[in-house]
Structure 1
Amino acid sequence: MPQPVPDRVSPLRVLRAAPLFAALVALGACSSTPNRPAPTPQVNALYTQLDQASKSYETALQQAREGDSQAAAQTASATLDQLKQGAAQCSTVAGCDPQRFFSVYDRLLRLKDGGLSIGDDVDVAGEQTSEGSNAGKTGAASLPEAQRSVTLLHGQKLSELIAMNGPVKAALEMWLTQWRPNLMDAWVNYQYMRYQMWPAYQNRDLPEAILFGIMAKESGGKVHAVSRSGAAGPLQFMYATGMRFGLGTEDGFDERFDPAQAARANAEYLDEQLRIFNNNLEVTLAAYNGGEGRMRRLVGDDTSTSFYDPRIYNQLSQETRDYVPAVLAAAWLFLHPDSYNLRFPKVDATPGSITLARPASLTELTVCLGSAGGLADGWFRTLRNLNPRLDPQVSQPAGVKLVVPKMLEKPYGSRCVSGPWPILANDLHTAVVPVVPSSPTPSPAPRSASSSSKTRNYTVKRGDTLVGIVRKIGCSDVQEVAEMNGIKHQHIKPGQVLRLPTCR
């Protein structure tokens, strides 16, 4: 039987029904059924706290209507904190249902995404801004920070299009745990390329949060990423699809690696598919990953069908079933980092440039710049992303202009023009590595485990990794187990049954 389409509650409907909703919450706290004992006084107190939080959010909206945007933002933030604390307390009290708190919490986050209605234009890093504060700035700093550019898709609120269901919540957990380093790297990489990529989305009325979600999942913001299937660039275009949207080859350079061009092509693709699928975002993302032809055959004329409908969901590859909620979860975190105990680093990404005073490659510049500006991981990735047409190992002649973050202009002059660092960098870069003649590869030694005749089943538990499971076996390796189970990129999930070799 098909699963019901997740409820996409309109924030305006929630706003109109807020007094009724609060009353129903209070009523539910005091009622009992023949099959369930009446709530204890402690439970009733927590449900009363939930009722008060709902009323507080109404107060925030009223403050916004009266023009006091700062007070509205503070009241709304305090309300969400109150809900989080209430849910934590509820989970320790017998008879209390934490899901009540999380349901209200999700709804209020959706109301918050109607940021223009409560008057708090907040930038993606969570700091208050005003449209006038961008005067005289260039690049990313000159782009408006109004929430509509982050949260609206063809005039629809993005929050209404993201179902906060099991797959999305599971993906949120992955981004906040195992994938957290990838999420942080993607954030930093995106900030430096934002002024090149975001305008393409703005021009087509697409939300920046989705651009970030796709990029985080596809490449992590590594411009020169190439998948095993041949998809390339920060947004991972296949060659034929890239050509269809104008990503060709110019002077030997594959334009799929150009962040601005890739963002333009991606925006055009999504815009086309959203119109075909009647703004069904989940299905459109599935088409981007699994192929639009396949999705059109599965969906047919019913473009309102849910991606999670078994008639659709069960026909898709595991990769696509994981891909869609992962993108939506990354977009949700982009919108609400503080609400998930996540703090993205602040990045001064104002664009600038340098003109080489002496020949240097990007790798040499990375060495002599060191951790300038406090970037502990160094500048290699950023320099490559901002200068995608250059081979990082090839020395560029003096006089060549490179794109860099503006904050590197002074460090370049003080560290890379003269003195010991450029000399050291060149010495390392020109080091000669001995060439070892190739020899026939010896045949691998026979394994101590037989994957063909002696195997056993193992059910993956939460927190398991493929590496950890293999270590427990003690007589196999990751490649063998992956091949036995058709696993790609070492991706496993709780509940999955694996075939494992049995040790002799």
Structure 2
Amino acid sequence: MKAKAILFASVLLVGCQASNKDASQSASNQNPPSANSLAAAGDLDWLMGPDGQTERELWQVVSEGLEMDIPDNERIREQKEYYLNNKRYLQNVTLRAEPYMYWIISQIKERQLPMELVLLPIVESAFNPHATSSASAAGIWQFIPTTGRYYGLKQDKWYDGRRDVAESTTAALDMLERLNIMFEGDWLQAIAAYNCGEGRVLRAIKENEAKGLPTDYWSLNLPRETQLYVPKLLALTDMVKHNERYALSLPSSNLDRALTRVEVGQQIELAQAAKMSGVPLTKLQTYNAGYKHNVTSPDGPHAIMLPASNAKQLEDSLSSGDINLVNWGEHKVVNGETIEILARRYGITADSIRQANNLTAQVSAGQVITLPISGEYINQIATQQTQIASNSSRSAAKVKYTVRAGDTLSSIAKRYNVKSSDIQSWNKLGKNNKLKPGQSLQLASNATNTKSRSTKSSSAKSSKNNNSSITYRIRKGDSLASIAKRHNVNINDVLKWNSKVTANRLQPGSTLTLYKR
């Protein structure tokens, strides 16, 4: 669907509050927009009464649009009983869902699809854009990666279109329309195929045809989850349509929750967009769940979803040119590095690293993380560290080791407190090379037999124990990288030896303690 312009050429109406299958499965205190102003462009005409002036309740519109027949069978009764026993949950979900529904209903109305489809994300994800299943399905419509890509949802390190409410809704309705055509207008079969895949439903139909059995949804032999999936939707349909009968309390419409989408035109951090628009950062992060690192993707999209009442403030700020360029870089974690060490090395806060990567635990070796600083600076530090390590490696003498029966790379590495990969590198061994008794191996001079357990200490600790420390007075223009390079030590060690030092706290005249190798 091509959205119609509402506030500006670049501002689109979206309903959102807070987060499938393979392609075959193969804030604000400002004045909110009035219903009339939002409907003026035509997107919310369906929300207005016959006089074109009176706003109807959103859930009233939904209730009046529900037309599917609801059979009285055990599967549906069980799902109704579940929802009736969990009314508080259902009330919370419908409150969360309401803002998204403006966007979804607008598409449903334009495509002339069943209103029941607006309830499908309740079954899929409880309308949580951050929802992720055990099968890696994500977003309110629960697309798995392959299906998302099949339906045009971009997914990369920076952005996941499956969590973008506007984009994923378009993709989900595209998929459902396609399935409905495939199953010749049988919406129950199409919805079942959305859950378990069209191939599974087609096979079930063929099996019944071969046995002379009915081929309606209720007669098909489908996975247990799919046998419950359609009844859940139909149970919700009946309860929403007859909410008074079931004493189901549905939230009142609140256009404060209706969002617009502002096209920024370049990469922007959500924190800056929050300041420019007046929307709390936590809310903006929820509205823009598709952005993985709290910054729009370098290659786009660059759209920001936010309450319509804040859109003009953001537009005005953007027009003033008051926007910082974003040039974030990446770092591959190595053994011994922690979030805190990286923060001190690069002169940023540990919390900013956690926020940029949505981290709730410590980083691990081999993990690639985004750092909210210049990529050029990261590369500069990495290059200098590589040179230091290379110089250290070239200057280190080698010791000879003769392989004995039963030896493995792992056992030798453990015995001499080195890495197997280092032994392979020093001796130009391939991954599949087997050791032979009598074979000679070269080990670095700092490889010491671990019968002396004290050698398991870090290089920083070992240097300290040797008491070969020096005091270095910081000069103007010094950086951690330049100091480490000059003294042929590792930046990590400098940070360990000087716990109060960070990359942006080097004061000329102050001193550092360094330990010679």
Q: More helix by proportion, 1 or 2?
A: 1
Same fold (TM over 0.5): no
Give me the TM-score of the superposition, normalised by structure 2: 0.43
Q: Which has the higher contact order (CA 8 A, sep 6+)?
A: 2
